[in-house]
Amino acid sequence: MHIAEFPSIDLVATNPWRPVDWRYRRANGILNGEIRTNRASEDRLVWRIVQFLRRYRPLEADREQIAAREALVRRNYPIYWVVRLLRMGSVCSEIEAWLLSGVPAATVAKQMGHPVELIEAFKLIAFDIDGRRENRSFVLNFIIGDAIHRELKFDQFSTIWKFYGYMYGPVMLEALVTETVNPIRPMSVEEVAGALRGDARGNMLRKHALATRLVPINSFTTAEISEGFHRELELERKNESAGGDTQSAIVTSAFKALLECLPVDVGPREQRQPRVDSKTLETYDQKAYELPTPALVAAVHDELSPELADLQDLEYPEPTNARKIGRAHV
């Protein structure tokens, strides 16, 4: 048997699954005639919202009632600005994400440039999470929603901010909201290039993390996801063996090792490495064959390579007496 939802029953403080904006929705339900109630039995804040909206809506349409509208707003200052704030999509989403991350209302107000009273009123009217933020299952299922379990879209920034803010805290949320990771302000022209490299690296890390969560799992993406995971494990393994802390350290150390193994000078004259002094390499320079790359690298370090055994018989043969005589007559 399916039990239908009724605003008069669901939009109450005693509902264990009540939405975070239950007071605002209940006030609109009363105004629209969906909920029948009276002042004596109604939540005090809900009734204040009802009275404000009931008086404000006629004044909003009448441009000549400016003085009356302004007086009504002054008497209901927080409620008016919360109603206005609910129409500002990204601003409203950011405030909700900061509150979910555990940041106090006073800190959120300072960051957003809003009065503390406005943020406190917003929590009561449109984002009632007091006493329920610690209930992780409730937050994930009823506030953030099941979009994180389905095909989450890249433009659903409200859900992304709330999820990362709640699970990883305000520091992670700041990186997503500002789209920067530990930004360093350059103080001179010489520091600009380093700041740009850091910004590019931070953007790639952020986008990589979001991509792994946004890519859906289906028959078309399973192989690519598995391959990407294996590549990530390989990078981590190389990172640990190289003793580095970042993927860039792996690339840098590998490229540096390659340059050091080359038997030629690379780079500007003042940065060139000393010429290779290897007796093994000098010996094979007199031979009649080219060393393959593994053998060449080994010879640079005076090491023997298994490939050399197959090349020993390729030396120039000594000239015979007949050849010597023939050459003498020429």
CA 15/CA 13 separation, integer angstroms: 6
Residue 25 neighbours by CB distance under 10 Å:
19
**What b/e sequence results for 112-126 when a residue is b if at least 16 CB atoms lie within 10 Å of its CB, and e otherwise?**
eebeeebbbbbbbbb
pLDDT attached to residue 117: 93
CA neighbours closer than 13 Å in the CB half-sphere of residue 56: 20
Residues of the chain with pLDDT under 50: 1, 263-264, 268-275, 324-326, 328-330
pLDDT attached to residue 287: 63
pLDDT attached to residue 307: 62
Q: Domain segments of the chain: what residues?
A: 229-261, 275-330
Question: Where does residue 88 fall: left (phi above 0), alpha (psi -120 to 50 degrees), or beta otherwise?
Answer: beta
pLDDT attached to residue 269: 44
pLDDT attached to residue 224: 72
Residue 133 neighbours by CB distance under 10 Å:
15
CA 248/CA 206 separation, integer angstroms: 15
pLDDT attached to residue 325: 47
Residue 130 neighbours by CB distance under 10 Å:
9
Residue 301 near residue 278 (C-beta atoms within 8 A) = yes
Q: pTM for this structure? A: 0.65
Residues in the chain: 330
